[in-house]
Chains A and B, each alone.
Chain A
């Protein structure tokens, strides 16, 4: 590993890409601290502190604290992600878009263009929502008014333009990273948003320990759990069930190499971080509705952190694990693809029976995967409730952070691989496995 890091420095291309990525992320972070005009940041921060743990808190986390800062990047990258999802869903519904996608390079360019337009439209709508929201705070705020001059002109219009421009700029940054840097720019920006909250969280934990709200043993315990959770995430995210595959389209004559064994990798956690996000979004509905309507009984039904909440949370996660796997992984398609490739699973007839087999295996491992996700997500929630641990260390954000980190590491690794093939006759000399030169 250490030598791997040393190698990064040796490859100019890779070095350039990594520096570029870091520079772009730095620009993004600087922008987060620029406040929208006509808004009082001090008041806002106090308000935010009062409402941590709600869905605003979650949103705030994904935008790397930009909402709390009321920054020009308050919308974050999310409108872009939403737009691309909407477009992706539309491609499966609207035949014209599906055709466009098939047109290759030009089609992709057009779809990309549409995604960008969609981002701008979504940003306008969302920023209007935020403008209204901020104005609404004026009446409820006990710390003084947040917005100095409410009304369409100039506040709402200005906010819409500022926030939309901010999102468009982040989108551009993300694309630049994908193109010239390393890793997927969009995920890296989300990643940076979450990670940026970590130091704060650690500092506040330290302060709590200092003040005596937390015992050193508790702190130690939290750190141990944290490391354990990360290890579990890494372990499970890379976990696969490998179904062996035989290809029968080429005649292989000499069997010296015995063939690189091919397999169908079924992931333990096929659905990634989606189930917890879906589940927590859904769980926020009751409290949000309760806030709007003033029905307190609804709010009392599921209290954040109590055993009822956690049970429902875990069950929802398990449900969404199955649900999302069923949506994204179609055993029939996979079986069909294998058949067209002239490939088969030994002992199983191509076609329907292969699909049934894959489905069976998938169902079994998804059970394990769902258990893992539920556990990783509920455990920290318990901790948050019991020990006042900051929200940043929750299971969902950990899964995102670890996931993006693994992906990026994989990309860096592949760049390392394409390094110059050093000479056979070069300084390294002969390569003999497990053989020592005889004196």
Chain B
């Protein structure tokens, strides 16, 4: 009965013991939940669950619902609920939870994050916590990785919920407000975190309570938790609207043309692992001459300089078919982690326009940011939370720190027998290409399905070309042809299939051996299962592991191997080529370097990169949290106003006019006027406040030069800005009321210039190009220690001297 981790050698046990002692938030011991399994079984038998009718099942669920008022789930409730869910799923879906799945579900219901290997039935597991919490009657959200999975999972699992008398809702892109409201009213709602976030943002702009679509958050199951909670943490959701921001100055097309003629290292300089770019002296001279303008750095030069910097950034750092693709005259950002087109994502603050100018496509409206929230903050609005993913472990510390989630590692139902071969490292890309093609051909001849994971759209096209030249027919899956994704994946496991993909074929894709009909399954298994070839390592080990995890699902055989070269992006960016002496590099043009330590070294580098990005995320998190607390405070105030709470601001400060008006106009109309003025100015002020915060954040790291802690300075400045905003809102409301013409029918919005943005749209903002690392550090207190360091040898010297003299 007991569930064991497959590899429990002395070393593993020891390292787990050490982890536990260090207080790492990882749990391998499943006994707290395993202990419940016999009770669930017993309950199942004793109450005759198996033989009762569907109606009885529903009435038992209803009975459970009436008992679940309290916030915490008691053990009895867990046992009875889990037994019910298991029975319902096996009836409605013909899928009965394995013991491990039950354990995972129970752990999740108690607010943990479970790590389960890919293909272990996470969708089915999610039903347990969703039902248990939905029975509390406040709604449960299952946050899926993308819209497709939301619909698929909801439709697939729907019958089980219905059998228990629970309603299911789906929220997808493009749904109307009424549809959304209905979906959120359901007991269980399947949606992406993004859509929920957008709804929250839209809700923050409503002018009437009846427009609200969301209920207060209660519980969320986060699927692919590491991706949503960590990788997407840097990408805030934004709602924008109104007119475009108007720029003074030069035409972006001209600037794009101008920067296009610049030469690297002569006119500009790329640095910091290709994250920043700046003009050189010569570059400035060239531009000044070309534009025929005076010095660029004068007081009024800021808009032009901004335009130039952005044009240069677009030219030098953002690569077509790697960072973005151009489709139907629109720039579409390719997500770094998922390899997918990030729907509706834009680079902020005009950088997107610069890229549009570079590619010569029409500019999309940008509008001004009305409100924004980052996904981690959205997730933290849920009082109860749990998650599941295939790759939590390398990020468990961060998940514990930011979300208080403990990672529970669930062993696979059948042990994974995939072979992970050592990396093969070449000095030159050419040789790597050849080796990959040769490897594919030999696997293809053995009718083994092959999946080639590449780093970018560009690279995937390149490999497809090479393979076709070599006479191997292959399918290409990348951001540019995501429409046929489902069809390609369905056949990727067929005998002899060759699929070239970006990391789109990572998370959430389920490659079934033998193809969609599963006819050739046995043959494929005999050939050794799916062979995953990676053509480069990614910045995070989790993404590598996701790619590997496409193979060897549910105990199937499989194999994975990475082919690398010293010319790969990752190697170049962190100048790892220096490991190998130049002479050896030249000698080994064609054959791989047989150095067994290379893989290990590479893992160290990846760990280092992960550490760095973790630090960046923590810094961003600390800054963003402050703004988030302001957003919450502001939102709460707005809700009070929305609910009709009055402050009597106008009676107090515009006493004369208020009284005048009251003589001729009904009080309710006046209240309505006050209500609308308040909401209008509150929303506008918040939008301006966000701009002000950006301004503060941009320059605050300089305060460290003055011996201050930037974060503390930021808090101070942000707080002052918030206070200023609150004050100015009241002033604006009062001024607008004094100015406005109030008629018995109220106030004329357009006449008074109080128009709300007529259309709003939502998008994600890719903030990463604007990251700063607060690189300047001040060393104010160090010298104290140096001095102390100078003293102590004196003691020793004196002691020795005394001793000598005594002799």
Q: Which of B181-189, B226-234, B752-760, B782-790 contacts A (4 or more CB under 8 A)?
A: B782-790
Q: Judging by beta carbons under 8 Å apart, are A425 and B645 in contact? A: yes
CB distance from A33 to the nearest CB of B (A): 22
The minimal Cβ–Cβ distance linking A248 to chain B, given in whole angstroms, is 4
Nearest to A406 among chain B residues (CB) is B707
Interface residues on A, range: 35 or more
Q: Is the CB of A99 within 8 A of B608?
A: yes
Contact of B298 among A85, A251, A253, A347 (CB under 8 A): A347
Number of interface residues of B (CB under 8 A): 112
Task: Provide a sorted-by-A list of 7 A–B residue pairs whose CB atoms are within 8 angstroms.
Answer: A78-B792, A81-B789, A136-B802, A247-B699, A251-B245, A253-B246, A420-B633
Please give the distance in Å from A157's CB to the nearest CB on chain B: 15
Closest B residue to A77 using CB positions:
B788
Q: A254 contacts which chain B residues (CB < 8 A)? A: 245, 368, 688, 691
Query: Which residues on A sit within 8 Å (CB–CB) of B780?
Result: 272
Q: Is B703 in the interface zone, CB < 8 Å from A?
A: yes
Q: Is the CB of A260 within 8 A of B706?
A: no
**Inter-chain contact B281/A351, CB cutoff 8 Å:** yes
Is A424 touching B368 in the complex (CB atoms < 8 A)?
no
B783 and A272 within 8 A (CB): yes
Q: Which of B196-204, B332-340, B585-593, B646-654 contacts A (4 or more CB under 8 A)?
A: B646-654
Q: How far is the CB of B710 from chain A (nearest CB, A)?
A: 11
B796 and A432 contacting across the interface, CB-CB below 8 Å: no
A122 contacts chain B at the CB level, 8 A cutoff: yes
Contact B705 A334 (CB under 8 A): yes
A417 touches B611 (CB 8 A): no
CB distance A55 to B730 under 8 Å?
A: no
* Interface membership of chain A positions 204-242, coded 1 if the CB is closer than 8 angstroms to chain B and 0 otherwise: 000000000000000000000000000000000000100
Contacts A82-B789, A337-B775 given; does A413 touch B716 at CB 8 Å: yes
Complex interface residues of chain A between 92 and 126 (CB less than 8 A to chain B) = 99, 102-107, 122, 125-126
Judge whether B349 is part of the interface by a CB distance below 8 angstroms: yes
Give the contacts of B262-321 with A (CB-CB under 8 A): 271-272, 276, 278-281, 284, 295, 297-299, 301-303, 305-310
CB distance B784 to A435 under 8 Å?
no
- A residues sitting closer than 8 Å to B (CB atoms) are 55, 59, 62, 78-79, 81-82, 84-86, 88, 99, 102-107, 122, 125-126, 128-130, 132-133, 136, 139, 184, 187, 190, 240, 245-254, 256-257, 259-260, 262-267, 271-275, 277-278, 281, 288, 292, 324, 328-329, 333-334, 337, 339-352, 400, 410-411, 413-414, 417-418, 420-421, 423-425, 429-433, 435, 437-439
Tell whether, in the assembled complex, residue A253 and residue B770 are in contact, meaning their CB atoms are under 8 Å apart.
Answer: no
Task: Tell me if A129 and B795 are in contact (CB < 8 A).
Answer: yes
- Which B607-652 residues have a C-beta within 8 angstroms of A? 607-608, 610-612, 614-615, 626, 629-630, 633-634, 636-637, 640-641, 645, 647, 649, 652
Indicate whether B721 reaches chain A with its CB closer than 8 angstroms: yes
Q: In the docked arrangement, what's the CA distance between A341 and B276, Å? A: 8
Contacting residues, chain A, for B790 (C-beta < 8 A): 278, 281
Instruction: Give complex CA distance A439, B651 in Å.
Output: 10
Question: Could you say which residues of chain B place their CB within 8 Å of the CB of A350?
Answer: 278-279, 284, 297
How far is A79 from B788 in the complex, measured between Cα atoms in Å? Answer: 8
Contact string, B679-708, partner A, CB cutoff 8 A, digits 1/0?
000000000100110111011101101111
Quote the shortest CB–CB distance from B213 to chain A (angstroms).
Answer: 24
A425 with B699: CB separation less than 8 A = no
Contact of A438 among B608, B655, B726, B792 (CB under 8 A): B655
The answer to the question of B137 belonging to the interface, with a C-beta cut-off of 8 Å to chain A, is no
A99 to B307, CA, bound (A): 36
Provide the residues of chain B in CB contact with A273, threshold 8 Å.
Answer: 783-784
Collect the chain B residues with CB atoms within 8 Å of residue A251's CB: 245, 247, 303, 306-307, 310, 349-350, 353
A85 touches B789 (CB 8 A): yes
Bound complex: CA of A128 vs CA of B772, how far in Å?
47
- Nearest CB of B to A433, in Å: 5
Q: Using CB atoms, name the residue of chain A closest to B711.
A: A414
Contacts A99-B608, A103-B607, A248-B302: A347 and B297 contacting too (C-beta < 8 A)? yes
Q: Is B801 an interface residue (CB 8 A)?
A: yes
Q: How far is the CA of A315 from the CA of B562 in the complex (A)?
A: 64
Question: Which residues on B sit within 8 Å (CB–CB) of A433?
Answer: 727, 731
- The closest CB in chain A to the CB of B633 belongs to A421
B178 within 8 A of A: no
Closest Cβ of chain B to A133, distance in Å, is: 5
Given contacts A349-B295, A430-B653, contact A274 B784 (CB under 8 A): yes
Q: Are B784 and A190 in contact (CB under 8 A)?
A: yes
Instruction: Report how far A85 CA is from B703 CA in the complex, Å.
Output: 23
Q: Is the CB of B306 within 8 A of A248?
A: yes
CB-CB < 8 A to A337: which residues of B?
775-776
List of 7 A-B pairs having minimum Cβ-Cβ separation, nearest first: A253-B245, A262-B699, A274-B783, A104-B611, A265-B706, A132-B799, A251-B350
Q: Smallest distance from the beta carbon of B24 to chain A beta carbons, Å?
A: 12
Q: Counting CB contacts under 8 A, is B803 at the interface?
A: yes
Q: Which one, B695, B730, B799, B806, contacts A259 given CB within 8 A?
A: B695
Question: With the chains together, A187 CA to B722 CA distance in Å?
Answer: 33
Known: A250-B349, A437-B652. A425 touches B640 (CB 8 A): yes
A352 / chain B contacts, CB cutoff of 8 Å: 281
B247 touches A102 (CB 8 A): no
Q: Contacts A103-B608, A136-B799, A429-B647: A250 and B306 contacting too (C-beta < 8 A)?
A: yes
Q: Which residues of A contact B305 (CB under 8 A)?
A: 246, 248, 342, 344
Across the two chains, which residue of chain B brings its CB closest to A346? Answer: B299
With both chains docked as a complex, state the minimum distance between the C-beta of B436 and any C-beta of chain A, in angstroms. 31
* Contact with A340, one of B276, B636, B692, B706 (Cβ below 8 angstroms): B276
The reply to whether A81 and B716 contact each other, CB–CB distance below 8 Å, is: no
Contact of A103 among B368, B611, B709 (CB under 8 A): B611
Q: Is A430 a contact of B785 with CB atoms below 8 Å?
A: no
Partner of A431, one of B244, B310, B727: B727
When A250-B770, A351-B280 are in contact, do A85 and B791 touch as well, CB less than 8 Å? Answer: no
Give bound CA distance, A410 to B714, whole Å. Answer: 12
CB distance from B315 to the nearest CB of A (A): 14
Known: A85-B785, A248-B306, A432-B653. A106 touches B611 (CB 8 A): yes
Inter-chain contact B783/A125, CB cutoff 8 Å: no
- Closest Cβ neighbor of B794 among chain A residues: A288
Complex alpha-carbon distance, A128 and B306, angstroms: 62
Inter-chain contact A106/B607, CB cutoff 8 Å: yes
Inter-subunit contact B298/A281 (CB<8 Å): no
Q: How far is the CA of A437 from the CA of B658 in the complex (A)?
A: 13
Q: Which residues of B contact A107 (CB under 8 A)?
A: 608, 611
- B53 an interface residue at 8 Å Cβ cutoff? no
Q: Does A339 contact B649, Cβ atoms closer than 8 Å?
A: no
Whether A423 pairs with B706 at a CB distance below 8 angstroms is: no
Inter-subunit contact A55/B799 (CB<8 Å): no
Q: A99-B608, A432-B731 are in contact. Are A278 and B787 (CB under 8 A)?
A: yes
Closest CB-CB distance, A402 to chain B, in whole Å? 13
A424 CB contact (under 8 Å) in B308, B640, B795? B640
Would A410 and B247 be within 8 Å (CB), given that A260-B721, A423-B640, A435-B653 are in contact?
A: no
Interface pair B297/A345, CB less than 8 Å apart: yes
A278 to B783, CA, bound (A): 8
Contacts of A253 on B, CB cut-off 8 Å?
244-247, 368, 691
Name A89's closest neighbour in chain B (CB-CB).
B786
Residue of B nearest to A186 (CB): B781
**Chain B contacts for A55, CB-based, 8 A:** 791, 794
Residues of A close to B308: CB separation below 8 A? 248
Selected from A82, A128, A329, A418, the residue in CB contact (under 8 A) with B785 is A82
Contact B688 A411 (CB under 8 A): no
Question: Could you say which residues of chain A place their CB within 8 Å of the CB of B795?
Answer: 126, 129-130, 133
- Among A129, A274, A340, A411, the residue within 8 A (CB) of B271 is A340
CB nearest to B779 among chain A residues: A328
What separation, in Å, do the CA atoms of A257 and B691 have in the docked complex?
8
Complexed CA–CA distance, A86 and B794 (Å)? 17
Cross-chain contact B310 with A249 (CB below 8 angstroms): yes
Q: B397 on the interface (CB 8 Å rule)?
A: yes
Chain B residues, CB < 8 A from A400: 784
Residue of A nearest to B704 (CB): A265
